[in-house]
Amino acid sequence: MTGLPIAVVGASAAGLAAAEALRRFGWRGPLTLIGDEPHLPYDRPPLSKQLLHGAWEPEKLLLRTKDQLDPLDLDLRLGTRATGLDVATRTLTLDGGEQLACAGVIIATGVAARSLPGAEGIAGVHTLRTLDDALTLRGLLAGGGRRLVIVGNGVLGCEAAAVARELGHEVTLVGIEEIPMAAAVGPEVGALLAEEHRAHGVQLRTGAVDGFETAPADPSGTGGGQVTAVRLANGGTPASGGVAAGGGGGSRLPADLVLLAIGSRPAVEWLADPALDTTDGLRCDAYCAAAPGIYAAGDVARWDHPLHGRPLRFEHRMNATEQGMAAARNLLAELAAKAPASAETEDNTPAQERRPFAPVPYFWSDQYDLKIQAYGLTAGADRVETTVLDRAERRALALYGRDGSAIGVLAVGLPPRQVRALRAAIATPLRWEEARERIGAATAAG
């Protein structure tokens, strides 16, 4: 093989999907996959569920084994961080100073966990984003009987709370918003989830974190402190990251462990080239292109969704795979259109055309025995209609609208056949009343 490589930055689900799609769509040139973690690409959703619980071992999370990756003929750079990108020349800078000139680049660096001011260096305060994060926290939760305070009552915080309670720990779930996951699912479904967590013994608290209390981490009194409590502010306006402005006079939550589950930030700090817009992710067009020959996929990408008419960014597992494939296809189409004679594709591979990326977003969450599944957009809705089908069984259906159109639907505890029917009913934004009829027919048929 000769010529410049295509580089995929991010050995994630999106990055792996992009690399596999590049080969499948005919790229025969050098292909470099760069990942800042030392691990082979793995699946992230089980980190806060099966892996944290101990039901799965790390090997089960691998998306591909080393033997399965070998046919891709990758230049695999694990434990390597990209530190810069020159857009005009499509040249990556890697840690250590290596310069890698590329035919094209797909950026799939995902997101990083947010922390809180003052949390750094305190023993017992953790985030949960990587495999190493999850393994560390799993080891600390293995013994049972710990007092765990989870700061952040979104999806990650709720999933971790459910696992910790099943492992026998005392759990307090703290959120700035009173209702868990309200931003993602709306108030009625959020209230149903709150009931479920309370029924399993989770203490729900509302407030902004004012700071942490610590004790010496060892008897000599040297070294960093070990967390003993989380302080909540009494009043005060939450500042960035959920830390209260001012402080004092609030509640004290005893803690042996603290999990910060306060959201994430797109991993774009290494992209300093002014040709790129890195406001809330890497800004792309409808084809997932951020610049000529530069594409993005997965959690880091914010692109123009053709059906919804505005830039969107999804931190959902299904989107990562689908967008990785779309970015690969569109990058190859661009390269072939500009230099068909030198494009290193199979001679019998038909030329691809760039196509807008217009997925039906999908996410799921498992908490206790509940299965929550959603299609379309649920966040940012200006209208939510929730039907509690069976409160005792925690079964519910919610429809989400914006500007008079239905844009999303969510099911809790519905059978698979009905859930699959919901996707078809929301694949294209419909006027509210028409969507209500279709959703009603889909669930009645189940």
Structural domain spans, the chain: 6-112+265-338, 115-262, 369-445
Determine the pLDDT at residue 248: 43
- Looking at the structure, give the CATH architecture of the domain made up of residues 6-112+265-338: 3-Layer(bba) Sandwich (3.50)
Q: What is the pLDDT of residues 12-35, one digit of tens each?
A: 999 999 999 999 999 999 999 999
- Report the alpha-carbon distance of residue 332 to residue 22 in Å, rounded: 7
Q: What is the pLDDT of residues 152-174, one digit of tens each?
A: 999 999 999 999 999 999 999 99
Determine the pLDDT at residue 415: 85
Average pLDDT rounded to a whole number, residues 211-225: 74
- Quickly name the fold that domain 115-262 has: FAD/NAD(P)-binding domain (3.50.50)
Q: In the predicted model, is pLDDT for residue 47 greater than 50?
A: yes
Determine the pLDDT at residue 388: 78
Q: In the predicted model, is pLDDT for residue 267 greater than 90?
A: yes
Average pLDDT rounded to a whole number, residues 237-258: 62
Q: What is the pLDDT of residues 169-206, one digit of tens each?
A: 999 999 999 999 998 899 999 999 999 999 999 999 99
Determine the pLDDT at residue 307: 87
How far is residue 440 CA from its own chain's centroid? 30
- Report the alpha-carbon distance of residue 165 to residue 190 in Å, rounded: 19
Determine the pLDDT at residue 420: 82
Determine the pLDDT at residue 220: 58
What CATH number matches the domain at 369-445, 1.10.357.10, 3.40.640.10, 3.30.390.30, 3.40.50.300?
Answer: 3.30.390.30
Determine the pLDDT at residue 19: 98
Determine the pLDDT at residue 123: 96
Judged by average pLDDT, the poorest of 60-74, 365-379, 410-424 is 410-424
Fold match between 6-112+265-338 and 369-445? no
Determine the pLDDT at residue 394: 86
Determine the pLDDT at residue 196: 95
Average pLDDT rounded to a whole number, residues 85-104: 97
| Percentage of residues of the chain with pLDDT beyond 90 | 77
**Chain mean pLDDT for the chain:** 90
Q: Which is higher by pLDDT, 240 or 363?
A: 363
How far is residue 393 CA from its own chain's centroid? 28
Average pLDDT rounded to a whole number, residues 340-369: 75
Q: In the predicted model, is pLDDT for residue 446 greater than 80?
A: no
Q: What is the pLDDT of residues 319-353, one digit of tens each?
A: 999 999 999 999 999 999 987 544 454 444 445 78
Judged by average pLDDT, the poorest of 54-63, 108-117, 260-269, 344-353 is 344-353
Determine the pLDDT at residue 156: 96
Q: How confident is the model at residue 286 (pLDDT cuts 50, 70, 90)?
A: very high
Q: In the predicted model, is pLDDT for residue 243 greater than 70?
A: no
Q: How confident is the model at residue 101 (pLDDT cuts 50, 70, 90)?
A: very high
Determine the pLDDT at residue 58: 97
Q: In the predicted model, is pLDDT for residue 242 greater than 60?
A: no
Q: In the predicted model, is pLDDT for residue 301 greater than 50?
A: yes
Determine the pLDDT at residue 61: 97
Q: Which is higher by pLDDT, 86 or 428?
A: 86
